[in-house]
Amino acid sequence: MSRAPSSSIISLATQLSTRGLAHAATIAGLLSLNFAFRFAFARSFPGSVYALILYPGAVETIRRALAHSTFQVLLPLQYDSERWHWGSSQTVLIYLLQQILSPFAVSILLSSVFLIVAYLTVWCLFQCRTASITVAWLWIFGTQLTYMYTTGIVVGGYIFLSYILLNFVSAYRLMFGISDTPWTRVFYLVMLALAALSSEVWLNYGLFLVFGSAYLFLWHLRHESLAAARGSRFVLCSSITVLICYLGIRLQVAHPFVNPGVEDELVFTYPSVVFMVEDVIGNFFTFLYTSLTNFLPPAVVASNSLVYYGPDSLVREQHGYHSAYSWLVPMNHLFFWRYYAGVVATVFCCVTLRWLRRSWQNSARVSASLVLFSIMILTGFSTHLLVKFRPYNSVPALPYKAIVSILGVSLLIGYLLALAKVRWRTGRYRLLVGVVLSVTVIAGFARPHMLTVLLAQVGLQGFSDPLGDTLHFLQKITRALKKSLVR
């Protein structure tokens, strides 16, 4: 009689160890892929003074603050005459890491830590290994943070994203009543504090928590889940409280946002409400489209004529017709993506409304989760809506500005794959996963060239060309083989 329980315990331990080894091997493979992809192509990125490093003003300010008082780095710091930054748990960490490691090593370390966090948190959320692999895969080949090779502070996005993923997994469990324990609440608050102290970008995530928890609170009341509603109420109240405390301090040094001519000048300085409204509308479509198409190849994102042939070819092919205004032809192609943006935004909003209606009609967690991820996508660039439309917003080429929304897109893709695994046949499901992974790899190789061309049109520096580098490498091998055969 005593052998049965012991054999069950041994069997359970064996299953857990086998599963743990499988996860460890998968993570190791993903980290190796991440390193190989970045090592192969990052070195060919065009040189930038601030590639992968903090700009001198930030370094000097942090150095002085640490020398004066460790407490001082917990408050907003003035990096230059036009810029205050509150990055106690992000920028200071980058500064300390770059004192002992090379900038490239720091980027590999931070991206690797984020991939581990992403894999494990997605597993905790969806209990689906395929979803975990897919989300990590998206962030290996995605171009959402590639601008760090032009402006190094963007590398801090990996730290910020790690904080909010850890916060989100606890918030998700609280809001759906899965685990409303004191330890879950404490972990949620600690991660929220770290996220708030990492970057002003956290405001977008904070607004997501407010709207997402408010929606789930009403959803629980609608379906009479009063016990589960307590977790949503806690997330709602705590996120509002942290937002108020944060803004109360940050707004003391917010004057640069209304200084004429600074990059982050707010729309409220416009003399006309019409200017404000139209800038907000333009920003909304720009960042929503940037988020939803971040993992897609360039062929379906921007004008292929402009990207692969250039503006001069477009003008030349007009053969001199109305030459005084032929510059409008390249402009048509520069803004060509807006046709796609209208379609993509319409489809996404219609699908979201359908999920919202379905969640209101039934109490299944599936529909509510889909709505929650949609809210993250829609609110993940909220603060950028209020910044004046800048020339670089003429193209969807700076995805790091909508990083919270892109995280929502990746989680939505992972969740949909987790649902498909249960509902679809094995053959169809494997085909779907293969398509998603293949499209992401194609985008990872092809998108940097598109972003480089688009950024050049608005006066900014872009990235390398992994696809072009690969083709060039293959051509060199082919020529070498031909020479050897001739000999």
Tell me if residue 485 falls in helix, strand or coil. Answer: helix
- From CA 449, how far away is CA 174, in angstroms rounded? 42
- DSSP annotation of 148: G
First vs last C-alpha separation in the chain: 78
User: What's the confidence (pLDDT) of residue 331?
Assistant: 93
Structure tokens that stand for 327 in this block: 């510059």
Pick the closest to residue 203 from 171, 250, 166, 237 (CA basis).
250
Tens of pLDDT along the chain (487 residues) come to 444 555 555 554 565 567 788 889 999 999 999 999 888 776 555 566 777 888 888 888 888 888 887 778 888 888 876 778 888 899 899 999 999 998 889 999 999 999 999 999 999 999 999 999 999 999 999 999 988 888 888 999 999 999 999 999 999 999 999 988 999 999 999 999 999 999 889 999 999 999 999 999 999 999 988 888 999 999 999 999 999 999 998 888 877 777 888 888 899 999 999 999 999 999 999 999 999 999 999 888 888 999 889 999 999 999 999 989 999 999 999 999 999 999 999 999 999 999 999 999 998 899 999 999 999 999 999 999 999 999 999 999 999 999 999 999 999 999 999 999 998 988 999 999 999 999 999 999 999 889 988 999 998 887 777 777 777 777 778 877 777 777 6
**Are the beta carbons of 265 and 387 closer than 8 angstroms?**
yes
Please give the Cα distance from 296 to 189 (Å, whole number). Answer: 35
- Which residue shows structure tokens 């990207």? 307
Total-model pTM: 0.92
Q: What is the pLDDT of residue 2?
A: 46
R_g of the chain computed on alpha carbons: 24
Place of tokens 């209304």: 258
| DSSP conformational letter for 151 | B
pLDDT on residue 239 = 96
